[in-house]
Structures are given as structure tokens and as C-alpha cells.
Amino acid sequence: MSDIIAAIATGRAPCAIGILRLSGPGCAALTGSVFTPKQPFADAPDRRLVLGLLHDRQGRVIDECLGVVCRAPHSYTGEETVELQCHGSPAMLAAGLESLLAAGARQAGPGEFTRRAFLNGKLDLTQAEAVVDLIDAETADAAANAAGQLGGALKRAIGPVYDGLTDLCSHFHAVLDYPDEDIEDFGAAELSGALDRAGAALRELLATYEKGRHLRQGVRAVLLGKPNAGKSSLLNRLAGYDRVIVTDIAGTTRDTVEEPVRVGRVLLRLTDTAGIREAGDAIEALGVARSEQAAREAELALFVCDASQPLTDEDRRAIEAAKCAPRSLALCNKSDLPAAVSPDELPFDTVLTVSARTGAGLDALPALLEGWFLGENACDGSLLTNPRQFGALDRASRAIERAKTGLCLGVTPDAVLTDVEEAMAALGEVTGRTVREDITNRIFERFCVGK
């Protein structure tokens, strides 16, 4: 039987409401020793808020707050849980927690509430991982996709594939193990049809990963251009505040600066680089080398030029660097000044004429980037976003392909089924059905305390 864990579930800054959370059999009675509503808290009605006084270790009243008991199995963890909704003073919450610990609770570790929910079958591993993704979501789309996965979208997508493979294996073992029973033997067509269906479903899921990765992690993007082209001004304009110092002295941005920037529904992890130019001194030379490296590592390069000046060799070097990235576009900046560069001079399929100073022309960017990186996908949990899940599903898909090849080559069905069982093991890792404990430990370490 599990012990009683307790934690502060809310942030460390003063705020309107702060929550103390407990889970484990008997946690309502334990809480009742420090939280005193009119009726004993142990007898409080299920899932109904009651008002009471919270006491510190010395017995002093430290808050008037609301408490709620959710009795097993109808709770987040599947065990008896308690939440105390207090005023959001970090000092008071710390004193309240101390009081609960003194009464016999144990400080919860990171993700321990969700781990209990997983162990008690309230969530599968894809849903547990969605909890972290929901907390970490940096855009509304990322949150919506995580919410869909918390609701079981991946579990529902993977379940039928797993069940189909289970049927295949169990039927096959029945044929092998009970040769005297009159069990219909497998035809190669039946086996190959089942493998085709499983393979297609997995490929469809795996194909969503690139967009899902952009949704969850953002797109690595880099601003490239000669000094004074307006890169820092553009980053500030897109970020919506002055993240980088802007001066008209060339070389002010000496190192790379990274900033998450939302452009429409797309999250860019935007790096502003030291301008690419003939290096004037050792520090700047380092900055230039980093710019070129940033371009090679980026998924999107935004080449920026000062279109009020004719193009120079420095611009051409920046164009070369930008072309190293898988996707690139040109921003002809300073459109508020008379133009000296025409968009057709720039060797990019996409050229936007913009002004970082006035914001003109930048409204075309969201639709463009959404089309490139997110597409029309509904963010309902159907996008695979998690590298661990991708890795395991990829292994499952490869095992299915091996099984199909084996079947074509006339390998005996029992050898084919070894691959099928490997695919099932990999699928089980995704949902947590067959996952190793060290892997689950690593997953729950990513959680915050109190979740």
C-alpha cells in the first residue's frame, strides 16, 4: 500500500491561489489534523469544497482556505487525494506543507502524483507524457494537441494496431500449440493483410512527427545578414519587446542571441547572429563563425538586407550561409526608406519587403510559416510530438517491415512472428504496457514536484 505524499502544486511566486496537494490512503484524516472545517475533514463529502482553517506546526492559524477530498478510485491518482486551495503566499504554503509533513505525510518527488495515476491505470504513458507537454506548452496549438493526447488520442491510435497484432500472434500460437484442435491455419494472405494494415497505420502516425516536433519544440530559425541590416530590430519587432540592443554602430550584436518568438501559430526559436562580415577583431571573428554554424544547424534561415543600400559582398556571404538551411527566405528590410535593392535581385523563392521600424510587410509572415511548418493538421492530439514515442513507433514500424519482407521471401511464419512480437514490444513501450522501469523513471523525472 502506498504512503501519503504531499507537495505544493503551484508556483513559487506570490499569486491569488496556491494549492497544497496530498495523495494516499488516509490522507483526508491526516489533513484533518491540521485543517479544521466545521465537520471533521475525514468525513467531508466527496469532491465538495469545504471551508476551514489551516494550522502551522505550532498550531497557529495560517490561512482560511478551501479543502476537497476525492476518494478512491475517482481521483487523479486513483487513490484518496486532498487539495487545499489556499491564498498564494509562498511562505504560508511552505508552512502548510511543513505542517502536513509533521503530521506524517512525505514530500512528493517530481511527477509522483502522475506516476501513481499511471501505476493505478488512470493514465497510460502517452497520457502521462501529455501532462508535461500541456504544462510546458508554449503555444495554444501545442496545448490543444497535448490536451488531445491527455484525452487518449494516441492510445486510441495505437490500441487497434496492438490488438490486431495480438490477434495474429495468439491465433498463430494456438495453431502451433494445439495441432490436434481444428484451428484454421494461417494463410500467407491473411498474415500479409494484417501486417499491411499495421504498417500503414504506423506510417501514418510517424508522418505526423515532423509537424508535431515543430509544434512542441518550435522551429530553429536564424537571422542572417550583414551588420546594420536590421536583424536585431526584426527580432525585437517579432518578440514584441526590446530583447536586443539596437544601435547604428555596426557589430553591436557580438554573439548569438536566442529568443522564442511566436509568429502566428508558429513558435520560432530565433537566433540573432553577429552580422556576417569580414572579421574586424578576434571576438567578432568568433561571432561570425557562430553565425555560419547557426545557419547550418537551423531549419529556417531568414536573410535580412538593408534594401536602402546596394547589395555588397557581405550580403552575398550571408545569402550563401542562409542557403545552407533547409528552408530560407529573404527579408528586404527598411522599406520605409527609398529602395536600392529590388526583390528579384535576391536568389530566394520567397522575398518579403518589410520594415522592422514600422512593421510593414511582416503580416505576410505568419501564414507563410504556418504553411511550411504546421500545415492544415488539426491539433487534436493526432500529431506525434515526443521523440521517445517516435523512436519506439519507428522501431515497431521497422519490425513490421522486416516481417513483411520475411513473408515475401518465404521465411516460415514463426520467424515472421518473432518480428511481429518485437513490434508489439515496441508499441507496448509507447503506451507503458511493457516499458522498463528505468525508462518510466526517466519520464517522470521531467515532471515538476506536485504534478
Residues between 346 and 405 with contacts to ligand GDP, criterion CB under 6 A:
355-357
- Selected binder of ligand GDP within 216, 231, 277, 402 (CB under 6 A): 231
Task: List the one residue out of 179, 53, 72, 61 whose CA is nearest residue 117.
Answer: 72
d(C-alpha 137, C-alpha 121), whole Å: 25
Contacts with ligand GDP, 233-252, as mask; x by CB under 6 A = x------------xxx---x
Min dist CB 304 to ligand GDP, Å, is: 6
Nearer to ligand GDP, 19 or 362 (CB): 362
Among 212, 227, 287, 413, binds ligand GDP (CB under 6 A): 227
- The DSSP code for 42 is G
For position 232 contacting ligand GDP by CB under 6 A, the verdict is yes
Q: Are 443 and 129 in contact (CB under 8 A)?
A: yes
Dist. CA 126–CA 144, nearest whole Å: 15
- Asked whether position 337 contacts ligand GDP by CB under 6 A, the answer is yes
Q: Would you count residue 228 as binding ligand GDP (CB under 6 A)?
A: yes
Told to check if 334 binds ligand GDP by CB under 6 A, we report yes
DSSP code at position 46: B
Rounded least distance, CB 355 to ligand GDP, Å: 4
Q: Contact 103/62 with Cβ under 8 angstroms?
A: no
Interaction pattern, residues 294-333, with ligand GDP; x per rule: CB under 6 A: ---------------------------------------x
Cα–Cα distance, 315 to 311 (Å, whole number)? 6
Sign of CA pseudo-dihedral 430, 432, 433, 437 = positive
Q: Does 275 bind ligand GDP (CB under 6 A)?
A: yes
**In this chain, which of 67, 78, 230, 432 binds ligand GDP, going by CB under 6 A?**
230
The DSSP line for 328-369 is EEEEEE-TTS--SS-GGGS--S-EEE--TTT-TTGGGHHHHH
Size of the chain in residues: 451
DSSP one-letter code for 3: -
Q: Between 176 and 337, whose beta carbon lies closer to ligand GDP?
A: 337
Of 280 and 391, nearer to ligand GDP (C-beta) is: 280
Nearer to ligand GDP, 80 or 315 (CB): 315
Residues within the interface to ligand GDP (CB under 6 A): 225, 227-233, 246-248, 252-253, 275, 333-334, 336-337, 355-357
